Amino acid sequence: MQFMKKSALVFLLSFVSFISFAQVQRQFTHKNADSANSNEMLKGKNNQEDRKQMMRELNLTKEQREKIKEIRQANQAKKEAIENDTTLTAEQKETRLRELKREMGQSMLPILNDEQKAKFKEMRDKRQQQIQ
């Protein structure tokens, strides 16, 4: 009888310890996810600010801004379609989003004059060096 009480007590303590550990792990995972989400939000905010700064530095005409806005809107729909495609793996999504970004840059070039193209390429190269 005494042995059964000790066994039950040990089992109960083990079970409680396991549940507590699982709870701590779950909270830690949620904190990491929240941190990752806030980093993504900051990254998005910085991208938006970078884009605005780039547009100011390129000194675009109203017509150029409108054409670029149309390109961005079309690409936004494509981006959302890629992100919401459940048949793609995360790696495939990342690859397709990178390709989409490259296509957008290429579709912008014909809109720019020669001086703006040179400035755009210079700014893009500088940004790439900062990322690496």
pLDDT per residue, tens digit, the chain (132 aa), is 666 666 655 665 565 555 555 444 444 444 444 444 444 444 445 577 877 888 888 889 999 999 999 998 989 999 999 999 999 999 999 999 999 989 988 898 899 999 998 988 888 888 888 877
pLDDT of residue 126: 86
Domain boundaries defined on the chain: 57-132
What whole-number distance in Å separates Cα of residue 34 and Cα of residue 47?
A: 20
pTM of the model: 0.56
Contact between 65 and 55 under an 8 Å Cβ cutoff? The reply is yes
**Residue 43: C-alpha distances to residues 23, 90, 115 (Å):** 30, 18, 29
